[in-house]
Amino acid sequence: MRITVGSRQSRLAVRQAQIVMEELEKYHPEAEVSLVTMKTTGDRILHKTLDQIGGKGLFIKELDLALQEGRIDLAVHSLKDMPMEVPEDFPVLACTRREDPRDVLVLRKGLERLEKDSVIGCSSLRRKLQLGSLYPEAEIRNIRGNVLTRLEKLDAGEYDALVLAAAGLIRLGLEERISRFFSVEEILPSAGQGIMAVQGSPSMREVTACVNDREAALAAGAERAFVRELEGGCSSPVAAFAQVEGDTCRLRGLYYDEGSGGYSIGEKTFYIEENDPAQGARMGRELAHELRDRYTEKR
């Protein structure tokens, strides 16, 4: 059996694909697993923000085409970078065990702390919204590029600090660059942050079952349903984080009102039903409706 895995060309994307490939090789020793990398449209256009060039779909456009043409059997993505709508012919087959989901602060080399007029590199509207209350006097400036490119810009003096996902730095072995972890109460993570998604034809579902983590899949379903219900994407700061604790799951979500620029954060805890795979998504939709209705009533 041959399995061709596709990923973006960045060092982080390749490392993530390798993690999945190692699991496939472990559970399918007879398989010949190979990697194909490609530069996506989102990787090439770095002078504009994502909402200006078409959103998160530009990071998977070329990989989707490779799946359709049969050049790869599976594609590995950071789940947080995937659009909320995924082609039925090539669904998410597996969600990997979640790495640390938190956002972190990375200071420029040689800098020990942030001053009041510091410049923080960040392009995510979700992060910008929540950073405003943590660093009200700082300048939040857009930055694009993969993790290593952003770190180069930081250390070159273009910024005083960056806000990045902990998971990416950990997978790259760059934990020492982390200056501060933000709790999920301080900065609510992006839906799916820390989880890798394996996408492919439904015929590959049994092959990829060894990669799937039950808790991560449940959390991903709830988080993505919350964001999808509110029609959130790269141009909206909607956020969600679900944490499984024993037989319960606590889902926390951020609803943003575009008209007023205000937002509301709430949560919902539910007992996990073993034989109800759609439960997480249903809870995500319910919380989205509750927060939207609650915010509407306040106005």
- Any idea where the domains of the chain sit in the sequence? 1-97+195-212, 103-181, 213-299
Please, what is the average pLDDT of the chain? Answer: 90
DSSP H helix total and E strand total for the chain: 10, 13
Residue ranges of alpha helices (H) inside 230-278 are: none
CATH 3.30.160.40 applies to domain 213-299: yes
CATH 3.40.190.10 applies to domain 103-181: yes
Mind listing the pLDDT tens digit for each residue in 8-22? 999 999 999 999 999
Give all strands (DSSP E) within the chain, no chain letters: 2-8, 32-38, 74-78, 92-95, 103-107, 119-121, 139-141, 161-165, 180-181, 196-200, 239-245, 248-256, 263-271
Structure pTM? 0.89
Residue 116 to residues 84, 137, 139, 182, Cα–Cα distance (Å): 37, 5, 9, 18
- 81 in catalytic set: yes
Mind listing the pLDDT tens digit for each residue in 68-111? 999 999 999 999 989 888 888 999 999 999 999 999 999 999 99
Q: Of 73, 81, 103, 160, which residue is the catalytic one?
A: 81
Tokens for 230, please give them. Answer: 């509110």
Question: What topology does CATH give the domain 1-97+195-212?
Answer: D-Maltodextrin-Binding Protein; domain 2 (3.40.190)
Mind listing the pLDDT tens digit for each residue in 22-79? 999 999 999 999 999 997 654 544 444 445 444 455 567 889 999 999 999 999 999 9
Place of tokens 């699991």: 23
Contact in structure between 98 and 217 (CB atoms under 8 Å)? no
Q: Do 1-97+195-212 and 103-181 come out as alike in CATH topology?
A: yes
